[in-house]
Structure 1
Amino acid sequence: MSKPGSFSKEKKIINLKEGEQNVTVVGRVLDAGEPKVISTKRGPRTISEALIGDDSGRVKVTLWGEKAGSLEEGKVVRIENAWTTSFKGKVQLNVGSKSKVEETEDSSIPPKEDIPDREPTAPSPHSREGQRFRKPGRRPRPW
């Protein structure tokens, strides 16, 4: 059992699953985008997107608010208290105001060119492959 206020054990990027909270990962920043303002249900929000990787794979990271633009390409970072979501079948990592991002000297993280091109995937719980659809309230015609 973890102590109050403690962070979760580091996870390999490929093992990230949709819907996780309090996630800790260490990875090399492969790409870091500039901050931009987007429209959300809560009004305009500043975000930036990045790609980080470790020896297991890579994951897209969305940095929200004051964390936007805080990653620098090529650096190794430790991200604590992040959360995961999924988009188009791929798991994504989210970094917000309660997340901690710090540069680290982790020699176990390979150089950019040696990071595998694998991403954690989110199984679709609503896979409708092979099902036929009809408009609601309509019954098949009895031919």
Structure 2
Amino acid sequence: MVDKVNSLKPGMENVNITVRVIEASEPRVIQTKNGTRTISEAVVGDETGRIKLTLWGNLAGTIKSGSVIKIANAWTTAYKGKVQLNAGSKSNVSEAEDNNIPEAESIPETTPSAGEYRGGGRGGRRFGGRRGGFRPRRESEGEEDE
């Protein structure tokens, strides 16, 4: 199944989508909790909207503005209330011959919202952990009946 930009939600995996590259940046090196990584960022879209795409590792810098690309096995995350698309070592990015994807100026400015997303998927934040999370004490706890 091929996804559309407006159907993407945070925490999705195995995303397959065909989009037009609206803007593409040069690769840069960033510091992560796992060490240094090379990334490039792009804005991509289809007839349903736009989304930020982060290309990790060897995929960084491999796309150019104006081209139509097919992305297989990508995943989504949430950042600052917006859904973001990610492609890394297990993803496949290739040029596509798809005349159904509109030109950049015809792609709607709408971006999928992450809403109240709380992690999950690759790199998601965990709450609670092994020892359990914080639980506020109820007023009735610890009081003796008189």
Deviation at 1:125, TM superposition (A): 4.5
1:124 pairs with 2:122: no
- The aligned amino acid for 1:48 is S
1:75-90 to structure 2, matched below 5 A, reads 75-90=67-82
Structure 2: distance between partners of 1:58 and 1:10: 16
Distance 1:115 1:96 in 2: 25
Query: Quick one: which of 31, 34, 38 aligns to 1:42?
Result: 34
Residues 39 and 55, structure 2, Cα contact 8 Å, conserved in 1: yes
- Paired position in structure 1 for 2:141: none
Q: TM-score, normalised by structure 1?
A: 0.81
Equivalent residue for 1:109? 101
The alpha-carbon deviation at position 73 of structure 1 amounts to: 0.4
Q: Give the Cα separation in 1 of the matches to 2:13 and 2:102.
A: 26
CA deviations 1:17-58 (Å, max 9, x no partner) are 000000011010000000000000111100000010100001
Question: Is 2:10 aligned against 1:18?
Answer: yes
Partner of 1:66: 58
TM-score for both structures, normalised by structure 2: 0.79
Give yes or no for the alignment of 1:56 onto 2:56. no
- Residue by residue, what CA displacement relative to the aligned partner does 1:88-142 show, whole Å, maximum 9, x if unpaired? 110000000110001011011001110000011111157xxxxxxxxx99xxxxx
Q: Using the alignment, how far apart are the partners of 1:64 and 1:111 within structure 2? A: 25
1:24 alignment partner AA: N
- Aligned-partner Cα distance in 2 for 1:71–1:125: 29
Aligned residues: 121
CA distance in 1, matches of 2:40, 2:117: 28
**Matched residue type, 2:112:** P
Alignment equivalent of 1:92, drawn from 84, 101, 113: 84
What fraction of aligned residue pairs are identical, expressed as a percent?
Answer: 53
1:30 is paired with a residue of what secondary structure?
strand
Where structure 1 has 5 or more consecutive residues not aligned to the other structure, the ranges are 1-8, 127-135, 138-143
